[in-house]
Amino acid sequence: NAGVTQTPKFRVLKTGQSMTLLCAQDMNHEYMYWYRQDPGMGLRLIHYSVGEGTTAKGEVPDGYNVSRLKKQNFLLGLESAAPSQTSVYFCASRPGGAGEQYFGPGTRLTVT
C-alpha cells in the first residue's frame, strides 16, 4: 500500500515550458487535491476533485489545469510555466466524509 505518490519529486523548467505533475493514490479515495506551498503562506488550494471525471477550482487556479480521468490519478498541468510558479506542490487525497487528508511527498518545482 503506497498511499499517495507524486511524480516527479524535483523539476527545473524554463519560463514558457510545460509539464504535468502526476498524483496517484491506491486507497480508493473519492477526493483529491493539489496545493502549492510557499514560504509564509501555508498551503493554498489550486484545484480539487470530488470524484472521477470531476474537477473544481480552488484558491489559486490561474495558470494550472487538472484532469481526473481515473479515480486513482489526479494530474496537474502547467501550460506555460512562469517564475511565480516556483513552489513546492503537494497532492492529497481523502475518503468521503470529513476525514483527514493523506499527503504525497511533494514536488519541488523551480521555474527559471
Among 14, 40, 62, 69, binds another protein (CB under 8 A): 40
CB of 104 to another protein, least distance (A): 9
Q: What is the DSSP string of 44-110?
A: EEEEEESSTT--EE-SS-TTEEEE-SSTTEEEEEESS--GGG-EEEEEEEE-STTPPPEE---EEEE
Is residue 102 within 8 Å of residue 27, measured between CB atoms?
yes
| 62: contact with another protein by CB under 8 A | no
Shortest distance, position 29 Cβ to another protein, whole Å: 12
Q: Is 58 in the site for another protein (CB under 8 A)?
A: yes
* Min separation Cβ 32 and another protein, Å: 10
Site string for another protein, 75-94 (x = CB under 8 A): -------------x-x-x--
Dist CA 99 CA 81 (whole Å)? 33
Task: Take residue 43 and report the three cell numbers written for it.
Answer: 498551503
* Residues in contact with another protein by the rule CB under 8 A: 31, 33, 40-45, 48, 50, 56, 58, 88, 90, 92, 98, 100-101, 103, 105-106
